[in-house]
């Protein structure tokens, strides 16, 4: 697919900010794991944490002006690992929670986050919120994050609807300038899992 450039968000400026100065502005952003190929990783490459399947988590310093990705060099300056940024970034994301929209009804109901703040897909990481929303859809929840500005939840009670939504998610992933993933997720025991329609998923919540 060849989309490896990060547009609209730069990497951190050469004058390194201190972690405590930006901790409250760190936010996670979901990106495809091929966004920064291993052979191109350097101090100026965005720092990422592998999440699940073909998705990784990058970290953005949000705020006025142009947001900046936390890069590998900045991590070295801070003396922390990528995983140490997850907790503060998720806490900040939880405070920016946006309501979802209802699309359709019955077995064709879909809950959609598309606020276009750059973090709709990243709300996949807020599993408690996902569980609360997923209780509204019929059957096991199926979740898609085709691009940066969309998260969708629907139920798998109607196989034809699942197939239609999977095709739509794949199409949006392939054609959006900020793709994330065409894979589908579900919730099992309150935890996020890859969706395998041929398998019984188990109870959604503990």
Over residues 139-195, the pLDDT tens digits come to 999 999 999 999 999 999 999 999 999 999 999 999 999 999 999 999 999 999 999
CB 112 within 8 A of CB 145: no
Burial environment of residue 42 by CB neighbours within 10 A (0 to 12, 13 to 18, 19 or more): exposed
152, 165 Cβ separation under 8 angstroms: yes
Give the pLDDT confidence of 26-61 residue by residue, as tens digits: 999 999 988 765 655 677 888 999 999 899 999 999
Please tell me the distance from the alpha carbon of residue 184 to that of residue 99, in angstroms, as a whole number.
21
Contacts of 199 (CB under 8 A, 6+ apart): none
CA 84/CA 27 separation, integer angstroms: 13
Res 106 pLDDT > 70: yes
Q: What is the mean pLDDT of residues 90-109?
A: 94
Q: What is the pLDDT of residues 111-124, one digit of tens each?
A: 999 999 999 999 99
| Lookup result for tokens 């979802």 | 100
Instruction: Specify the pTM.
Output: 0.86
């Amino acid at each position: 697919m060849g989309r490896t450039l990060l547009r609209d968000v730069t990497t951190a400026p050469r004058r390194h900010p201190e972690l405590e100065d930006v901790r409250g502005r760190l936010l996670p952003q979901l990106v495809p794991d091929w966004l920064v190929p291993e052979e191109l990783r350097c101090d100026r490459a965005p720092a990422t944490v592998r999440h699940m399947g073909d998705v990784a988590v990058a970290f953005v310093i949000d705020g006025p002006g142009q947001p900046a990705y936390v890069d590998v060099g900045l991590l070295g300056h801070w003396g922390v690992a990528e995983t140490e940024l997850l907790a503060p970034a998720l806490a900040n994301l939880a405070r920016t929670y946006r309501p979802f929209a209802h699309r359709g009804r019955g077995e064709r109901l879909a809950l959609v986050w598309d606020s276009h703040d750059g973090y709709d897909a990243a709300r996949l990481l807020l599993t408690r919120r996902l569980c609360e929303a997923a209780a509204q859809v019929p059957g096991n929840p199926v979740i898609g994050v085709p691009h940066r500005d969309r998260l969708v939840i629907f139920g798998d009670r109607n196989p034809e609807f699942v197939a239609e939504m999977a095709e739509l998610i794949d199409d949006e992933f392939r054609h959006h300038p900020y793709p994330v993933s065409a894979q589908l997720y579900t919730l099992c025991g309150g935890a996020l899992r890859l969706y395998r329609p041929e398998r019984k998923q188990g109870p959604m919540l503990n």
